Amino acid sequence: MENRLLKAKATLPGYDRNKLVPRIVHLGFGAFHRAHQAVYADILAAEYGSDWGYCEVNLIGGEQQIADLKQQGNLYTVAEMSADAWTARVVGVVKRALHAQADGLETVLAAMCEPQVAIVSLTITEKGYCHSPATGKLMLDHPLIAGDLQNPQQPKSAVGVVVEALARRKAAGLAAFSVMSCDNMPENGHVTCNVVCAYAREVNAELADWIETNVTFPSTMVDRIVPAVTAETLDKIEQLTGVRDPAGVACEPFRQWVIEDNFVAGRPSWEKAGAELVADVVPFEEMKLRMLNGSHSFLAYLGYLAGYQHINECMDDDNYRRAAHALMLKEQAPTLKVKGVDLARYADLLIARYSNTALRHRTWQIAMDGSQKLPQRMLDSVRWHLAHQDSFVLLALGVAGWMRYVGGVDEHGQAIEVCDPLLTVIQGAVNASAEGESRVQALLGIEAIFGNELPKEAAFVAQVQKAYRSLLEKGAKATVAEYALAL
């Protein structure tokens, strides 16, 4: 299979793959990582002779992804999709691929303890950090964390695996590595540091002190729209390249990576491949989380309820387009601290990216794990507006859209497949409340999402109740139209 991929009609790895060294162990070999961080490394190897290679690891799930990758000699295809044309590259920077179940946890931990490993990076989604998005703290009662603390030498969580690898490096007298989150969370480096250090302190205070002294947790902002891979995606990649690649992934042409330059054992020259190395990532993270991810979630819930299966369909509706653009510039942009960025131009670029008809990014996919996403994508902005006595009607509509969505039944009486790590808590609130105002109050009572103070803010509750009533009485399409016309 390897030889077949090397004959694909695509940009091929012309560099000597034998010279690559697996200096980065990456946890979470999903579609986003394949289309983002690994592409930067591939560009560096191809154009600048970099020897930074990856050891890819899946801890829970994704067995088939790793099996497919191994079968192809660790090669896979990335296709960039636009309405005009598709282009493809075969990525060759993966040196090794492991799965904790198939290859054994000991093999994974041994790979993380190889002396040359300088960075452990993660794309495990927000829920993989086993933290409360409302507080940012590690949930010690999380089933994975509680289980790992009973048996820290045989962990299952990403947090437990990172700490055990660091414990083994310390015991062997090896240098520490940096831990780099590439997930969509504000201050993702600080979140990662918090959960790793809190977990380590439960295991061993001396280990926790060593980690705090020797490990860095650089924050990052990652941006590239990568829809979930479908059979149709793989068919199109095969048509484009002439080769069937079950590990292939498709994405938009745009990519951005802002990285806090804080590494203890070196790093690739990512800036040569277009990344921005900065002292403080937080302003960029907030910009992306609120303007892009916040409007994405807004469109996902309200679009799904209106029957729009894909984001580009939402963009074909002038009212949705106007509402999303206004949400970005009128309600999200004022809350930001980022300097030197033309936010109006950024908003226009986002609308253009959402309108890419080739992407077919499902509203249902973006709607997943809302409990983990709402705090940073919408609720932090709501708090800013409350403090500044400013308007936040579209943010309130987005929150109401989430509430209507997690009710589990769409506007035509069809069941919605709600995917969320707090699903049992959400369903408990839904089932214990009557439809209408009591439903809103019940969902606002979920402290892990809304915290303690926000549900006591009368202005916030009133705006969400108003939007929710409109969604019930008029439906999402008419409600968004009404809000858009009022702008």
**Same domain for 388 and 371?**
yes
State how far the Cα of 288 lies from the Cα of 282, in Å rounded to an integer.
10
Question: Are residues 9 and 149 both part of a single domain?
Answer: yes
d(CA 359, CA 338): 28
Residues in the chain: 487
How many CB atoms are located within 10 Å of the residue 377 CB?
A: 27
Q: Which domain-ending residue is among 278, 302, 332?
A: 278
| Token pair of 187 as six digits | 């201050």
- Residue 353 is part of which domain span? 282-485
- Measured distance CA(111)–CA(89) in Å, rounded: 27
Give me 156's structure tokens.
Answer: 């299952």
User: Among candidates 285, 306, 308, 295, which has minimal Cα distance to 219?
Assistant: 285
For residue 254, give every residue at least 6 positions away whose Cβ sits within 8 Å of its Cβ, in sequence order, or none. Answer: 223, 224, 225, 349, 353
* 158 and 132 within one domain: yes
Are both 245 and 375 inside the same structural domain? no
pLDDT per residue, tens digit, the chain (487 aa), is 457 999 999 999 999 999 999 999 999 999 999 999 999 999 999 999 999 999 999 999 999 999 999 999 999 999 999 888 899 999 999 999 999 999 999 999 999 999 999 999 999 999 999 999 888 899 999 999 999 999 999 999 999 999 999 999 999 999 999 999 999 998 999 999 999 999 999 999 999 999 999 999 999 999 999 999 999 999 999 999 999 999 999 999 999 999 999 999 999 999 999 999 999 999 999 999 999 999 999 999 999 999 999 999 999 999 999 999 999 999 999 999 999 999 999 999 999 999 999 999 999 999 999 999 999 999 999 999 999 999 999 999 999 999 999 999 999 999 999 999 999 999 999 999 999 999 999 999 999 999 999 999 999 999 999 999 999 999 999 999 999 999 9
CA of residue 397 relative to chain centroid, distance: 23
Note the maximum CA span of the chain.
Answer: 65
3 state SS of 60: coil
For the chain, give me the number of helices (H) and strands (E)? 24, 11
Any idea what the CATH number is for the domain that residue 452 is in? 1.10.1040.10
Q: Say if residue 264 is in the same domain as residue 298.
A: no
Q: How far is CA 363 from CA 253, 255, 308, 359, 367, in A?
A: 20, 21, 7, 12, 6
Q: Tell me, what CATH number does 102's domain have? A: 3.40.50.720
Helix (H, G, I), strand (E, B) or coil at 205: helix
In contact, 323 and 372? CB cutoff 8 Å: no
Measured between alpha carbons, how far is 52 from 131 in angstroms, rounded to an integer? 31
- Domain check: are 26 and 113 in the same one? yes
Tokens at 92, concatenated: 């060759």
Residue 172 shares a structural domain with residue 109:
yes
- Separation CA 160–CA 200 (nearest Å): 8
* pTM confidence score: 0.94
Rg (CA), the chain: 22
Number of domains in the chain: 2
